[in-house]
Amino acid sequence: MFRVWGPQPNSDNTNNVWAPELHFLDGKWYIYYTAGPANQGCCGGQRSWVLENANADPTTGAWTEKGRLASPTQDFWSIDMTVFEQGGNRY
């Protein structure tokens, strides 16, 4: 086992990091995971986040934090997400 990424200190994704899922989409690797801020305790601030790696081999190259998956008008609590395609759309 190896570590591909670590959150920045005091960021909104430093606590309760769990449920990572690895996906290969459009020629890049993505890790979707859930995490919350340290000041929220257990689970209250859990949100969805994504990392990206453009290397062909996900065990090499750099993982880049792409940020939180969010709606600009709403704030959703979120854990254990996944990605799927239906009718030509990705969700």
- Give CA torsion, residues 26, 23, 1, 8, to 10 deg: 80
Residues 35-73 pLDDT 10s: 999 887 777 789 999 999 999 999 999 999 999 988 889
Question: Averaged over 64-89, what is the pLDDT?
Answer: 90
**DSSP character at residue 74:** B
Per DSSP, the three-state class of 60 is: coil
pTM for the full predicted model: 0.88
Q: Which two tokens stand for residue 10?
A: 């005091």
Report d(CA 24, CA 54) in Å as an integer.
10
22 pLDDT band, cuts 50/70/90, is very high
